[in-house]
């Protein structure tokens, strides 16, 4: 019989149950030891005639077994199989995130990079089974998270992203699109989309050509612009020192959003350009893009099929634990009171003599 557990920290839970069981046994043993240190067995029987070591040991064993079974139930054991109706997920999404120094500029209600990361984090709750990957780029790009449906793992990677997450300064959108295109791999039946989140500054490479190549590979390229396209903002030298700004020829460097360039890239890639912002009371641009452009590609009625799913079996362990706890409750911790224990008889007899 093959058994599956739903939750990753199952061995941690089992280890905690073992530790708790050992503590219960240790507490039971220490009670016995303390009583023996206070009085020998005969005197202990006289002082506590209702005490039953055997019953207390049995109750401890029942308690430990019930705790272990409850922990096993919490880990979500599964075995056997049952056919269910399922639809095949049909979307691979890679986000190319600009981490160049200009993304530290504060003209998006917060620094551009922080805004982009927050938007991506908000999107994770809406993906519903789609695979997502992350490419960070500045002067060069790097695949920091391959395509995955483990959103918590993706979130851990995203939280660590910063201007240090690209191997070279500058901005090369073309290299990011190229790297993402290779990460998708060969075309199968899954729809594929690429979202570039950037302020549009582009110093090297030919992003339009890379976007056209992506479109030929049936990868739709969307662009989301972060920042102000009117006045722009000063560029801090680092995330730690946001009041010390980048200088060029003794002049402070200003950075502005370049929507024209991003629009051209998106059109070359068969997609659309959007400026980051609040679309409605509930959605920002990236969430709206997924809901209104990408989500429709995820499933198709033609893809319905029967798949085998492991049956959850946790309730058997929970029921067994409940039975053991009931038995533990029904076993009295003490014996019935003897109105005149044997030890007391001998003491009375001695006193009479």
| Number of other CB atoms surrounding residue 21 within 10 Å | 18
| Core vs surface per residue 171-199: b (16+ CB within 10 A) or e | bbbbbbbbbbbebbeeeeebbbbbbbbbb
CATH number of 89-299: 3.40.50.410
Would you state the structure tokens that stand for residue 298, as one six-digit string? 């995820």
Would you state the structure tokens that stand for residue 48, as one six-digit string? 């506590």
Q: What is the pTM of this model?
A: 0.62
* Cβ atoms of residues 284 and 277 within 8 Å: yes
pLDDT tens for 83-138 read 655 555 579 999 999 999 999 999 999 999 999 999 999 999 899 879 999 999 99
Mean pLDDT of 186-204: 89
DSSP 55-79: HHHHHHHHHHHHHHHHHHHHT-EEE
pLDDT tens for 16-52 read 666 776 776 677 677 666 656 655 555 555 555 555 6
Q: Is the pLDDT of residue 222 over 70?
A: yes
Fill in the DSSP letter of residue 164.
G
| Core vs surface per residue 263-276: b (16+ CB within 10 A) or e | bbbbbbbbbebbeb
**Taking the CA atoms of the chain, what radius of gyration do you get in angstroms?**
33
Would you state the structure tokens that stand for residue 97, as one six-digit string? 């995130």
Would you state the structure tokens that stand for residue 136, as one six-digit string? 């960070």
pLDDT tens for 297-320 read 775 544 555 556 677 788 888 899
């Amino acid at each position: 019989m093959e058994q599956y557990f739903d939750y990753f920290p199952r061995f941690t839970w089992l280890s905690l149950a073992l530790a708790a069981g050992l503590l219960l046994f240790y507490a039971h043993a220490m009670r016995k030891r303390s009583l023996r240190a206070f009085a020998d067995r005969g005197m202990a029987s006289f002082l506590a005639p209702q005490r039953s070591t055997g019953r207390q040991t049995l109750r401890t064993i029942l308690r430990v077994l019930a705790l272990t079974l409850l922990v096993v139930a919490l880990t979500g054991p599964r075995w056997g199989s049952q056919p269910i109706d399922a639809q095949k997920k049909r979307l691979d999404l890679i986000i190319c995130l600009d981490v160049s120094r200009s993304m530290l500029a504060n003209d998006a209600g917060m620094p551009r990079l922080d805004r982009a990361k927050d938007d991506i984090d908000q999107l994770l709750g809406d993906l519903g089974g789609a695979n997502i990957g992350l490419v960070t780029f500045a002067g060069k790009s790097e695949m920091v998270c391959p395509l995955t449906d483990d959103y918590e793992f993706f979130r851990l990677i995203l939280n660590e992203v910063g201007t240090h997450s690209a191997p070279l300064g500058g901005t090369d959108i073309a290299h990011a699109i190229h790297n993402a295109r290779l990460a998708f791999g060969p075309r199968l039946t899954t729809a594929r989309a690429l979202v570039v989140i950037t302020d549009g500054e582009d110093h090297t490479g030919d992003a339009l050509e890379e976007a056209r190549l992506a479109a030929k590979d049936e990868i739709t390229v969307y662009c989301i612009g972060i920042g102000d396209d009117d006045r722009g903002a000063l560029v801090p030298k680092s995330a730690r020192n946001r009041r010390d700004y980048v200088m060029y020829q003794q002049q402070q460097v200003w950075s502005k959003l370049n929507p024209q360039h991003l629009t051209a890239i998106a059109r070359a890639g068969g997609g659309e350009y959007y400026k980051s912002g609040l679309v409605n009371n509930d959605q920002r641009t990236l969430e709206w893009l997924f809901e209104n452009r990408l989500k429709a590609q995820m499933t198709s009625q033609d893809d319905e099929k029967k798949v085998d799913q492991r049956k959850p079996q946790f309730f058997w362990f929970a029921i067994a634990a409940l039975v053991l706890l009931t038995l533990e409750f029904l076993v009295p911790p003490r014996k019935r009171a003897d109105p005149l224990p044997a030890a007391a008889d001998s003491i009375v007899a001695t006193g009479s003599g």
